[in-house]
Amino acid sequence: MRLANLFPLLLVLAAGTAGADMFKWTDANGNTQYGQYPPAGVPAERLKSAPAPQSAPQTRSLQERVEEMNKRTEEENQQKAEAEKKKQAAANRKINCENAHKNIEKLNYGGNRRVQMPDGSYQRLDEKAKQAELEKNKKAIEKFCD
């Protein structure tokens, strides 16, 4: 007989014995025996079968798992964005600190310094304007330098 023909038969037999009763009896030599079928004419005690195993708790639905995964992904993306934002802010603070130090160094170099205005033109600073620029850069150092 081919194995493919035996497989369904084995499944039926296995299913039939899964819930079979067990018996306990004492044989002619006084030994306690256990089995599914006691010998004829021997008093046997039917044993209680083990309780059925607890079914596994219901697993979350696929939709719930997908939603949870999307939520975690979104949280991770937000954390990465916040970390990048903090990193960029720290880099900007460092640049601003360095620029303020350079500006003070240039202003203290001596004489009336020429500075480039926002419109691209150049202007010489008198002593009062120079002191105002120095003060502005000192405040920038306090703000941006650690």
Burial of residue 126 (CB within 10 Å: 0-12, 13-18, 19+) is exposed
What's the pLDDT score for residue 83?
96
What's the pLDDT score for residue 3?
56
- Which residues are registered as beta bridge partners of 24? 34, 45
What's the pLDDT score for residue 53?
73
What's the pLDDT score for residue 19?
59
Determine the 3-state secondary structure of 123 from DSSP.
strand
Mean pLDDT by 10 residues, the chain (146 residues): 56 54 88 89 85 70 91 96 95 93 83 76 84 90 90
What's the pLDDT score for residue 141?
92
Q: Say if residues 24 and 44 touch (Cβ distance below 8 Å).
A: yes
DSSP secondary structure code for residue 30 in this structure: S
Determine the 3-state secondary structure of 44 from DSSP.
strand
What's the pLDDT score for residue 79?
96
What's the pLDDT score for residue 84?
96
